[in-house]
Amino acid sequence: MLSAYLVNPGAIEIREVPIPEPGPAEIVVKIISALTCGTDLKAYVRGHSLIPMPGPFGHEFSGIVHSAGKGVKKFKESDEIMPVHSAPCNNCSYCDRGIHNLCRDIMKNKVLGAFAGYIRIPGHVVRQNCYKKPGELSFDEAAMLEPLSCIVHPYSRIKLRETENAVIIGAGPVGLLHLLFLKSRGIKTIISDLNEDRLEFANSIGADILSAPAGLADTIHDNTKGMGADIVVECTGLPGVWQESVNYVRRGGIVILFGGCADGTSVRFGTHMMHYDEITLMGSFHFTPYDVKNAYSLLRNRTINAGPLITDVIALKDIKTAFENLKNGKGIKYSVRP
């Protein structure tokens, strides 16, 4: 089979490798759709600590069960499925406390290599985080399960019934998924980005108010009665934007620091505002099986329609073109069809 390997930043090779065989409790999936994502783009542009190089590339996917190992009862050959690429070990101290997204081994045992003909899924992922794809859901939509699980995660810790409005900084694929989720909960959204095309797209899928970064503070002031936003979601992964985001939230509000910054960077926040305004800064990383289950329900019930986020469908041989487009701000997500 053919498989895309990220060799160095900016360098992808298409290699011929054997089709994997499933071990006990494992399945091998024939990939139908594999999606690009922001983490992949960071790895392509500058490298990423969680994506080893050289190594197989891609982790958002859906497909058909090609073969199942001994002991697999949940799935059989030819089942259409929608997995994510990781699951907790359920044995470490973090798992014992129910903090499954911070499991000590969750990143060590993740699955990479979705930009390929086939992929092997370990038993612990098969057991916890694989679902059968409903017939009415496209493979492209089904491949959204992994990123949507990440989006769902921080809101499990927030009282959304008390939330009237939210600001999303960054209208890339992550920001747009946050938009779809917040709109599904009836929350008024302001979204900001430098890219006018992305703002227009955000408007087409339900954003209430659009803003260029330069006018964001005034836009928030004018649309929140001068209070500031209940929730600010930072989706750029830029330290300067992280630092600025606290200026947009109301007293007692929450800032979700969702966009991951480059390793080694740091930010500074004023202590007076943080203390006396009781602002909550919330990091958000990965997801739990509970989040995956919720994301699956949102897709299965069509509460969220993530299909429009697919810019185009491309062949595996053209994968570098997709990442060059994303690097240059063209498109949102591409579906790679091995």
d(CA 180, CA 119): 29
Q: Which conformational region is residue 237 in: left (phi greater than 0), alpha (psi within -120 to 50 degrees), or beta? A: left
| Residue 105 reports pLDDT greater than 90 | yes
- CB-CB neighbours of 33 under 10 Å: 23
Start-end of CATH 3.90.180.10 domains in the chain: 2-144+306-337
CB atoms within 10 A of CB 278: 10
What is the model's pLDDT at position 268? 94
Cβ(119)–Cβ(67) under 8 Å? Answer: no
Res 263 pLDDT > 90 = no
- Contact criterion met (CB below 8 Å) for 254 and 182: no
Note whether 255 and 282 are within 8 A (CB): yes
- 182-210 residue pLDDT tens: 999 999 999 999 999 999 999 999 999 99
Tell me the per-residue pLDDT of 7-29, one tens digit each, with 9 for 90 and over.
999 999 999 999 999 999 999 99
Which of the four pLDDT bands, split at 50, 70 and 90, describes residue 239? very high
149-158 per-position pLDDT tens digit: 999 999 999 9
Coarse DSSP helix, strand, coil percentages of the chain, rounded to the nearest 5 percent: 35, 25, 40
Please name which of 53, 55, 16, 57 lies closest in space to residue 36, comparing C-alpha atoms: 57
DSSP strand pairing (333-337 vs 310-315):
parallel
Using 50, 70 and 90 to split pLDDT, how confident is the model at 162? confident
Q: Which fold has domain 2-144+306-337?
A: Quinone Oxidoreductase; Chain A, domain 1 (3.90.180)
pLDDT tens per residue across span 51-85:
999 999 999 999 999 999 999 999 999 999 999 99
pLDDT at site 129: 98
How does DSSP classify residue 309? G
**β-strands 2-8, 55-56 pairing:** antiparallel
All CATH 3.40.50.720 domain ranges in the chain, comma separated: 151-283
Specify which residues 14 forms β-bridges with: 4
Between CA 286 and CA 107 the distance in angstroms is: 10
Residue 284 half-sphere exposure toward CB, CA atoms < 13 A: 29
Q: How far is residue 30's CA from residue 117's CA, in Å, rounded to a whole number?
A: 6
Under 8 Å CB-to-CB from 271, ≥6 apart: which residues? none
Q: What is the CATH number of domain 151-283?
A: 3.40.50.720
pLDDT of residue 44: 94
Using CA atoms, how far apart are residues 303 and 293, in angstroms rounded to an integer? Answer: 14
Task: Report the pLDDT value the prediction gives residue 195, as an integer from 0 to 100.
Answer: 93
What's the alpha-carbon Rg for the chain, to the nearest Å? 20
Query: What is the amino acid identity at position 109?
Result: N
DSSP code of 48?
B
Q: With residue 118 as reference, give the H or E element that holds it.
A: strand 118-121
How many residues make up the chain in this entry? 338
d(CA 127, CA 125): 5
Return mean pLDDT, the chain.
96
49 pLDDT higher than 90: no
Q: Which two tokens stand for residue 101?
A: 């997204």
Which pLDDT band, with edges at 50, 70 and 90, does 86 fall under? very high
